Structure 1
Amino acid sequence: MENRPWVVLGLVLTVVLAGCAGFGGVGEDPTGEPTTDAPTSATDSATEGESTTTTTATTTGQTATPTASAYEPPAPPNVPTESKMGQGENRIRSVELINKVNTGDGVSDFDLRIQANTMMKDVDPAKHGDVEGEPYFMVAVDGTRIERSDYLAMKEDGEWVVQVHPGGLEKFDEGQHEITVWLFDQDSNSDDVYGKWTGSFQYEKR
C-alpha cells in the first residue's frame, strides 16, 4: 500500500509526457506554394500577360479582407490546384502597394489594391452542386502565404483592397522580398488558378 502514491505519480507523468508528444509535427505550411502549372516565382518562366512591376497609389477600392487584431496565417487552397490561365489569359490586371508605412529605405506595412476580372459564372462542374465560382485572392511573400481574402463579388473590372496584417510580415528579414498575388476559384476538390501577379518590395522592421 505504501507504493501506491508512487505508482499514481508515475501514471500521471506518463500521461502528461504522451500529451506533449502529441503536439509534435503541427505547424504552418513550410512553403505556402500551390501545386499548379502556373509559374510561382519571379525566376520561373513568365506567363504571357503577367505583370511583374510594383507601383504605388493613394486610392482604395472595395475591401476584400478585414483587418484582424491578431494575425492568423491564412488557410491554404484546396490542392492539387489547376491552372486555368490558358492562352495567356491572366485575370489579375494590376496590383499596387498602397497605405504604405515608410521606415527608412523600405516599408514595414502596406495594403494591396488589386484590379481583376472575377466573373466566374458557370465555371464549376454541375456535379459540384453550384456552377458559379467562389473567387478569392491569396497573397504570398517569398513563397509563404500571408493573406487570403474573403470571397469576391463577380465583376468584369473590379477593384479591391486586400489589407496586409503587419504580423504576417514580421517573420521576414529586412531587405528585398518577392510578393505574389493569386486569383483562385474555390472548388470542393481542388482550387483553380485564374490569375497571378508578381512584384517586389523593400521590407524594414519598425
Structure 2
Amino acid sequence: MRKQPKQHRANQMIALLLEATALEIADRGLDRLTTNHVAQRAGVSIGSLYQYFANKEMLVDALLMQKAERLMGVVHERLPPLLGGDIATVTRAVLLGIFEQVAGDPTQRELLRHWQRLNAAPVFQTLERQMTELCRQYLMRHVDEYRIENLPALLFVLINAVQYTTARYLVEERSLLGRDEVIEALVRMVEALCQPTAQQAVKRGG
C-alpha cells in the first residue's frame, strides 16, 4: 500500500484527538478533562498527543473553532435557499438551525457554559466576521426594501446582539423563557432595526 502523505496523517490525527476531546467533555465535563483521558480515548500515546497539542487548553481552543465552523456550516446550509425571502423568515430559519445544532451537541453546550473563562474571543470574532458578510450580502440584495443609513454599525449591533443573546440563553439550565420565545424576540429586533422602505411597508400591509 502506498504511504500516505504526512500532512494527511497529521490531519487525521488532529481530527481523532478533537473527536476524543469532544467525547471526554461530553462524558466528564470540561473541568475533569485531561490530556491522558483524551489520549486513552483516542487510542494513542500521550507523546503522540503532545506532538500536536502542548496541553489541554490548546485542545479546547481547537475544538471551539471546530464547533464554530460547524455552526457556520448550518448557517451556510440554511441561508442560500432563503436569500430572496423576507428578513424575518431568514432570521428565524438561521436561528432555529443554530439552536437545534447546539441543543443536539452536549459538548457544545458544556463549552458554552464556560465560554467566559475560555479563549472564546477568536471564536466569537470568527463567527462575527462570517455572519457580518452573510448579512451584508442579504441586505445588499434587498437594498431597495430597507432604509439602512449606516450598514457597518447596523451589522455590528445586530450580529453581536444575536450572538451573545443566543449564547446567554443556551447556557441557562432552567430558563423561564422557551426557545421559540427567544427566537421570535430576536426576529422582531432584527425587523425593527432593518426598517422597511415606505414602498415595502405598503406592500407588506397589503
Query: For the superposition of Structure 1 and Structure 2, which TM-score range results when normalised by the shorter chain?
Result: under 0.3
Higher relative contact order (Cα pairs below 8 Å, separated by 6+ residues): 1
Higher fraction of strand:
1
Higher fraction of helix:
2
Give the alignment's TM-score, normalised by structure 1: 0.20
Give 1 or 2 for the bigger CA radius of gyration: 1
Give the alignment's TM-score, normalised by structure 2: 0.20
